[in-house]
Amino acid sequence: MTRTEKRPTSSSRTASASKPAAKKAAAKKPAAPRSRAGQTDAKKPSTRRQPDVKPSPFAEAKKRRTERMMGIEPEEAPVDVKAHRTSEQPAPSKPSYVPTVDVMPKFNARSGNAKGLFERTVLQRAKAAGDAAEPLAPISYTNELHIKNAAVIDFWKSHKLDLKPQRIAPSPLPRHYRTTTKRRVWRDKSGAISLRFADGTGTLKSNVVESQIDVKEHHNIYNTVAAKIILPQYADLLHALSHVIVRGSMKEFTVILNVSEMNATVVRKLKLLADHIKEENPKAVSCYAYLDPTRSSYYLDQEPLEDAPVRLKKLYGRDEMLITHCGTQFYVPVTAFSQVNDTIIPSFVESVRRSLSHSGKPINRLIDLYCGYGLFSFLCADLADSVIGVEQNAESIESANIMAKKRKVNSKMNFIAKSITPHFIRNYLPRPIEGESIILDPPRQGVDSELIAAIAERQPATVIHIFCNIEEVPGAIRLWKNHGYRLIKAQPLDLFAGTPHLEVVVHLERIK
């Protein structure tokens, strides 16, 4: 998501010499109380902005559309860097960005901001009353699955897609399953500090928003952080702390403290806080500091930093996360993508394996695009003579290559760190061969028509296209059909129980 700033509403000049009554009423109106940095708490925000921050017209327009769509004005803002700084504390050498309220609705491929057809249908039928991040969590899982299955059928019919989708593969653990969680540091109007969801929503317990789908032990870590950062000795760290992220597996966790600056004072406080996290939470086996001077809404922003020699700093623990799926242990970089629902991974992998084996013909080469740390590459390697994994994240590829060497399968498995573009598909992959299959598992925004065209040019016998945004499915299926592929099966999986989202594994085969 892209950070947006709260746009001031311009006022019109309505008072005039011909309207003395209006002038008199305005003169009697009491002044709004003043708060941080000289701003007022009036309904119309100050037009003053940070001198070095110039939001783009696109960001401003996006903000206006979001506010009109949601029909609300957020009442709280993230931590003001200046509010805790005393006169004795030196000002930072460079002005820090003071974030304002970020409103981040769910991404949709068609409109960019508005909820998609499937999500709207689910929310309307569920009459969801839960928090915005997990609106279905309060209802029974049986009811949630019934609503989602009916919504999938309606979605398929509305888009006139071929075949009938399979019933949703349920999550074995529908609540308290999410192994990657985050909280943002927020300050309310009274100055109270809390850890909330990224958009400021959530029901507070003490000063931490608790979740019905996060792993329960994550709440203990957030409570530890929240209790410490409000103490006077942590004032410097509080100025810099933007997000607290907990990742890993159901058995052990990695904590990442996202900060806007990493000077000597902040690092000392980070280490002190890390010691408390380690002492009070035995499952927190490692802790890192992650530098993001922009305070990006994306809590692990991957944009390179020109002025920072170190972006990720280990405070204690291992150099990577150890995550076990289907009896195989993976070495996962702490900032790399990983699935958030460990409990459904066996069903997920089995769905992909069944589709790859459907034709009964041998797979001479398996190409795994957006392979990450190699989840499908390793767990489907026995089905193919050779495997090529491609991923932009160099750390994930390094981990996959190390794992291939440790398992002594590096002779048949090759991992490449490259951006996946039509040019790469056409010019860097080996020449196509008979019996080639491709797994395509892109990020939520999906892939464009040019990439699908480049893949289709290779004429793979089987394509497994995986979607974490069901709204992308209809357009992609039509593109594949135009390039000579037919839909064999669509298997939805409830990777995101408690939310109106689904993962969908689409199995396509080339028409001969």
User: Where are the domains positioned within the chain?
Assistant: 33-74, 75-103+178-338, 126-174+339-510
Overall average pLDDT of the 223-237 stretch = 96
Our measurement of the distance from residue 118's CA atom to the centroid of its chain's CA atoms, rounded to an integer in Å, reads 19
What does the block give as tokens for 316? 């204690």
CB 296 within 8 A of CB 338: no
* Fold assignment, 75-103+178-338: OB fold (Dihydrolipoamide Acetyltransferase, E2P) (2.40.50)
Q: Is the pLDDT of residue 12 over 80?
A: no
Q: Is the pLDDT of residue 51 over 70?
A: no
Separation of alpha carbons 147 and 459, rounded Å:
38
What region does 357 belong to: left with phi over 0, alpha with psi -120 to 50, or beta?
alpha
Tens of pLDDT, residue by residue over 140-168, are 999 999 999 999 999 999 999 989 999 99
Residue 121 — pLDDT band, cuts 50, 70, 90?
A: very high
Residue 101 — pLDDT band, cuts 50, 70, 90?
A: very low
Q: Is the pLDDT of residue 78 over 50?
A: no
Rg (CA), the chain: 25
Instruction: Tell me what pLDDT residue 98 has.
Output: 34
Q: Is the pLDDT of residue 257 over 90?
A: yes
Overall average pLDDT of the 408-427 stretch = 96
Instruction: Tell me what pLDDT residue 132 has.
Output: 80
Which one has a higher pLDDT value, 494 or 202? 494
Residue 130 — pLDDT band, cuts 50, 70, 90?
A: confident
Separation of alpha carbons 453 and 432, rounded Å:
14
Mean pLDDT computed over every residue of the chain: 82
Which one has a higher pLDDT value, 223 or 300? 223
Instruction: Tell me what pLDDT residue 357 has.
Output: 97
Overall average pLDDT of the 248-256 stretch = 97
Separation of alpha carbons 425 and 454, rounded Å:
6
User: Among candidates 337, 246, 313, 320, which has minimal Cα distance to 284?
Assistant: 246
Q: E strand or H helix at 57, and its extent?
A: helix 57-70
Instruction: Tell me what pLDDT residue 191 has.
Output: 85
Q: Is the pLDDT of residue 393 over 90?
A: yes
Instruction: Tell me what pLDDT residue 289 has.
Output: 97
Overall average pLDDT of the 352-377 stretch = 97
Q: Is the pLDDT of residue 112 over 60?
A: no
Q: How many helices (H) and strands (E) does the chain have?
A: 13, 18
Q: Is it true that 75-103+178-338 and 126-174+339-510 share their CATH fold?
A: no
Instruction: Tell me what pLDDT residue 304 has.
Output: 65
Instruction: Tell me what pLDDT residue 220 has.
Output: 97
Q: Is the pLDDT of residue 55 over 80?
A: no
Overall average pLDDT of the 439-452 stretch = 96
Overall average pLDDT of the 279-284 stretch = 97
Overall average pLDDT of the 391-395 stretch = 94
63-77, 178-192, 340-354, 470-484: segment of lowest average pLDDT: 63-77
Instruction: Tell me what pLDDT residue 309 has.
Output: 64
Instruction: Tell me what pLDDT residue 158 has.
Output: 96
Separation of alpha carbons 103 and 66, rounded Å:
7
| Phi, psi (deg, nearest 5) at residue 204 | -80, 140
Tens of pLDDT, residue by residue over 14-23, are 333 444 444 4
What does the block give as tokens for 243? 């997000």
Which one has a higher pLDDT value, 112 or 312? 312
Residue 365 — pLDDT band, cuts 50, 70, 90?
A: very high
List CB contacts of 162: < 8 A, sequence separation 6 or more: 477, 486, 487
Instruction: Tell me what pLDDT residue 105 has.
Output: 32
Q: Domain 126-174+339-510 is classified in which CATH homologous superfamily?
A: Vaccinia Virus protein VP39 (3.40.50.150)
Write the DSSP symbol of residue 363.
B
Residue carrying structure tokens 């695009």: 369
Instruction: Tell me what pLDDT residue 484 has.
Output: 97
Write the DSSP symbol of residue 213.
S
Our measurement of the distance from residue 501's CA atom to the centroid of its chain's CA atoms, rounded to an integer in Å, reads 13
Instruction: Tell me what pLDDT residue 106 has.
Output: 33
Residue 306 — pLDDT band, cuts 50, 70, 90?
A: low
Surface-to-core class of residue 241, CB atoms within 10 Å of its CB (0-12 exposed, 13-18 middle, 19+ buried):
buried
Overall average pLDDT of the 250-254 stretch = 97
> By three-state DSSP, how is residue 462 classified?
strand
User: Among candidates 438, 372, 381, 383, which has minimal Cα distance to 410?
Assistant: 381
Q: Residue 244 forms beta bridges with which residues?
A: 183, 257
Residue 29 — pLDDT band, cuts 50, 70, 90?
A: very low
Q: Is the pLDDT of residue 52 over 80?
A: no
CB 158 within 8 A of CB 471: no
